[in-house]
Amino acid sequence: MTSVADVWPDTDDVIGELPALELAGAEEIIEWTYERFERVALVASFQAESGVLIDMASRIVDELEVVTLDTGRLPEETHTIMERLGRRYPIRLRVVSPDPDELEALTAEHGTNLFRQSVDLRLRCCDVRKVRPLRRALEGYDAWITGVRRDQAHTRGGTPAVAIDREHDGIFKVAPLAGWSRADVFQYLEQHGVPQHPLYARGYTSIGCAPCTRATTPGEDERAGRWWWEQDQTKECGLHPLTVVREPV
C-alpha cells in the first residue's frame, strides 16, 4: 500500500497547517489548496455545491481541472448544467466513465436495475459506476476538492475541511464547504448569479443518478430522495466513506 510519505515528503508540514484551515473560509481553503498542491482535481457532481466551488476556484486559477463521474445513468438535466457551467467558466472537464468490462459483467449477472434488488447490489452498482472510476481518476493528483457538507447527513458530520484521504493513495481531500448549510450554498449561488441544476426547480434537494433520485416534499430530509426505497439505510454510495478522518496532529 502506498504510504502518505511516498506521496508527500513534506506531509508533516501540510498536516501542521490543517487545524488553522478548520477555521478558514471556503475561498481561503481553496486558495490554500491551489497554492499548496500542483495537481488538483475539483470533483463535481454538478449539484449546487459544485457551482459554488467552480465559481470560487475560477477566481483563483486560470483553468480549472474538473473531474466528473458519468455513471451512465445521470439525468439529462445534469448534462445540461454541465454544459452551461462549462460555457461560463474556464473549465477543462474530464468526464470519467465506468470500466466497460466491469459494468458488462455486473449487468450480465444482475440486470441493469440491480439497485432495486438489495442494498448490497445497489452498493455494487455504485462501486462500479462511481467509486472505482473515481479511484482511477484521482491517480496522479495531489489533492481533490469536493462539495461535501457536514450537515448533509449524519455520516458526513465529522468531515474535516482538509484531511489525508487513505481511500485514494494518501492524497489530500479538501472540503471547503464542510461547515456550510444548504441555505448558505443557495444564497451564494443567488448572490453570484451562478446557474443551478434544473431539477432543483422541480423539488429535488439532492441529485444523483436518475433511477435512484426523486424529488422531496417539504419537511423531508435533504437526502431523502436518494435511494428512497432504502429508508432505514445509510444514504451513501461509497465516495465519502467514514474512513476519511482527520489526521492526529
Q: Cell for 106?
A: 455486473
Under 8 Å between Cβ of 174 and 29: yes
CB of 49 to ligand SF4, least distance (A): 17
CB of 45 to ligand SF4, least distance (A): 11
CA dihedral 175, 209, 154, 146 (to 10 degrees): 0
CB of 208 to ligand SF4, least distance (A): 5
Does the footprint of ligand SF4 cover residue 241 (CB under 6 A)?
A: no
Q: Given the complex with ligand SF4, which of 14 and 209 has the nearer CB atom? A: 209
Does the footprint of ligand SF4 cover residue 208 (CB under 6 A)?
A: yes
Q: Given the complex with ligand SF4, which of 81 and 162 has the nearer CB atom? A: 81
Rg (CA), the chain: 18
CA dihedral 149, 51, 93, 88 (to 10 degrees): -170
Judged by CB under 6 A, which of 30, 52, 54, 125 binds ligand SF4? 125
**Between 126 and 155, how does the x/- string for binding to ligand SF4 read (CB under 6 A)?**
x--xx-------------------------
Task: Indicate the pairing of strand 91-96 with strand 162-165.
Answer: unpaired
- Segment interacting with ligand SF4 (CB under 6 A) among 53-61, 155-163, 194-202, 208-216: 208-216
CB of 71 to ligand SF4, least distance (A): 5
Under 8 Å between Cβ of 136 and 144: no
- Residues recognised as catalytic: 237
Q: How many residues bind ligand SF4 (CB under 6 A)?
A: 13
Under 8 Å between Cβ of 144 and 171: yes
Using CB under 6 A, which residues numbered 54 to 113 contact ligand SF4?
Answer: 71, 73
CB of 65 to ligand SF4, least distance (A): 23
Does the footprint of ligand SF4 cover residue 115 (CB under 6 A)?
A: yes
Q: Given the complex with ligand SF4, which of 53 and 212 has the nearer CB atom? A: 212
Judged by CB under 6 A, which of 211, 222, 241, 247 binds ligand SF4? 211
Binding site for ligand SF4 (CB under 6 A): 71, 73, 115, 122, 125-126, 129-130, 208-209, 211-212, 237
